[in-house]
Amino acid sequence: MIDQDIPRFKERLLSELSDVVEARRLIAAPAPAPSPPRRPGWRRVPALTGIAALAVALAVLPVVTSPRESGSQAFAVIVGADGVIEVNWSAGDFDDGPALQRRLREAGVDVRVDTVPASPSAVGKAPSFSTGSGLPPPGIAYPDDGANRLTIDPAVFTGTVTLTIGVEADGQDYAFMEEVFEPGEPFGGLHCRLGEPVTAADLAPYADRAGVRIAWSVITSLADDVNGGWSMTSEQVDAAPDGQVVWGYARNADVVDIEVLPEGQRVPEGWETRLSDLACTPEQAARWQD
């Protein structure tokens, strides 16, 4: 169980992910035999919020937060000779939501657009491309190997796909956000200047310079759960705790939420921290030179 508060938008994505995982499990399960069938083995995945939860979604839903090169258009919409449309995002994520919307409509797909307030570097990106939760409708197919693509047969699928696009916030909390250390975000590139791991004590002095208040949370427990994932709890604290920053997101233009793993607590095997999807560059570090 995840006791930590999850941003509303990411909670919805995680819910959709759970629906699709369960639907695929039911499809893949063998027909009932006279003796009780064994439950299919579950792949070990981290049941965490934010980065980890979204990274798991790569295998089953086109909802992605993955490493990419700045400025790349990390998707392709290809119409085959038979009219079947392939949407491929193996190069990264949907960095240009309006372009994806345009390409799908040009290919004859009915696209509905939802907008959500987004952090600065997430404006214009499409965090969610959805055909609905649960079983894929007729005419929509995902590959069995979990590759980052899907096909749409417009002769069969006549429904609507929903594309969610991040837009500039007008004072609201962000519903979709990139990591706070990414270029354009309040602490963009700071980890490149400080070096990793970044501790809470390293980060705290830069809040005033970034013009934000840090809302600190410290992980109070992190352990295996019964489903083969991770169970995590955390609590808010008033001051920078001793420990390593494991992730952070801007809540709005004024507040940044930072999660800290306490000093002396080991990061479990297979559970990685990620401060940014983008590789460090001298330009990112130079922003924070004294």
pLDDT in tens, 181-213: 999 999 999 999 999 999 999 999 999 999 999
* In-domain check, residue 47: no
At 93, is the pLDDT very low, low, confident or very high (cuts 50, 70, 90)?
low
This prediction has a pTM of 0.66
- Give the Å distances, CA to CA, from 248 to 60, 74, 103, 232: 25, 24, 33, 16
Q: Are residues 82 and 160 in the same domain?
A: yes
* In-domain check, residue 12: no
Q: How many other C-beta atoms are found inside a 10 Å radius of the C-beta of residue 104? A: 19
* In-domain check, residue 170: yes
Q: Are residues 157 and 201 in the same domain?
A: no
Quick one: average pLDDT of 58-84?
52
* In-domain check, residue 171: yes
Quick one: average pLDDT of 87-98?
70
- Shortest CA distance to 95 belongs to which of 221, 278, 242, 227? 278
* In-domain check, residue 32: no
Residue linked to tokens 């998707």: 75
**210 φ, ψ (degrees, to nearest 5):** -80, -10
The per-residue pLDDT for range 160-183, each reduced to its tens digit, is: 888 888 889 999 999 989 999 999
Q: Are residues 152 and 239 in the same domain?
A: no
Q: Are residues 172 and 200 in the same domain?
A: no
Q: Are residues 152 and 209 in the same domain?
A: no
Into how many domains does the chain fold? 2
- pLDDT value of position 241: 96
- Give the Å distances, CA to CA, from 211 to 181, 186, 214, 240, 250: 14, 8, 10, 17, 12
130 vs 54: which has the higher pLDDT: 130
* In-domain check, residue 15: no
- pLDDT value of position 85: 85
Q: Which of 107, 142, 177 is the last residue of a domain?
A: 177
**What DSSP assignment string belongs to 5-49?**
---HHHHHHHHHHHHHHHHHHHHHSPPP-SSPPPPPPPPP----S
Q: Can you tell me the distance from the alpha carbon of 209 to that of 144, in angstroms, rounded to the nearest whole number?
A: 48
Q: What percent of the chain has pLDDT over 90?
A: 32
- pLDDT value of position 217: 95
Mean pLDDT taken over the chain? 73
- pLDDT value of position 206: 98
Q: Can you tell me the distance from the alpha carbon of 258 to that of 280, in angstroms, rounded to the nearest whole number?
A: 20
Q: Which of 135, 150, 177 is the last residue of a domain?
A: 177
Q: Are residues 166 and 222 in the same domain?
A: no
* In-domain check, residue 158: yes
Q: Are residues 77 and 173 in the same domain?
A: yes
Which of 48-62, 94-108, 192-206, 256-270 reaches the highest mean pLDDT? 192-206
Q: Let me know: does 139 contact 154? Beta carbons within 8 Å.
A: yes
- Give the Å distances, CA to CA, from 228 to 29, 46, 285: 19, 8, 38
Residues 6+ apart with CB under 8 A from 26: none
- pLDDT value of position 149: 77
Q: Are residues 84 and 150 in the same domain?
A: yes
At 75, is the pLDDT very low, low, confident or very high (cuts 50, 70, 90)?
low
Q: Can you tell me the distance from the alpha carbon of 52 to that of 65, in angstroms, rounded to the nearest whole number?
A: 9
The per-residue pLDDT for range 212-259, each reduced to its tens digit, is: 999 999 998 877 665 666 677 889 999 999 999 998 999 999 999 999
User: 72-76, 123-127, 240-244: which has the minimum mean pLDDT?
Assistant: 72-76
Asked if pLDDT for residue 42 goes beyond 90, the answer is: no
Q: Are residues 143 and 205 in the same domain?
A: no
With 0-12 CB in 10 A as exposed, 13-18 as middle and 19+ as buried, what is 139?
A: middle
Q: Are residues 172 and 194 in the same domain?
A: no
Task: Look up residue 6 and give its two tokens.
Answer: 């999850």
Q: Are residues 208 and 138 in the same domain?
A: no
Give the residue numbers spanning the domain of 153: 73-177
Q: Can you tell me the distance from the alpha carbon of 290 to that of 284, in angstroms, rounded to the nearest whole number?
A: 13
User: 54-58, 119-123, 129-133, 140-144: which has the minimum mean pLDDT?
Assistant: 54-58
In terms of DSSP bridges, do strands 110-118 and 76-79 run parallel, antiparallel, or are they unpaired? Answer: unpaired
Q: Which of 124, 152, 177 is the last residue of a domain?
A: 177
Task: Look up residue 123 and give its two tokens.
Answer: 């404006």
- pLDDT value of position 228: 60
- pLDDT value of position 159: 84
* In-domain check, residue 268: yes
Sheet of 160-168: strand order equals 110-118, 160-168, 128-130
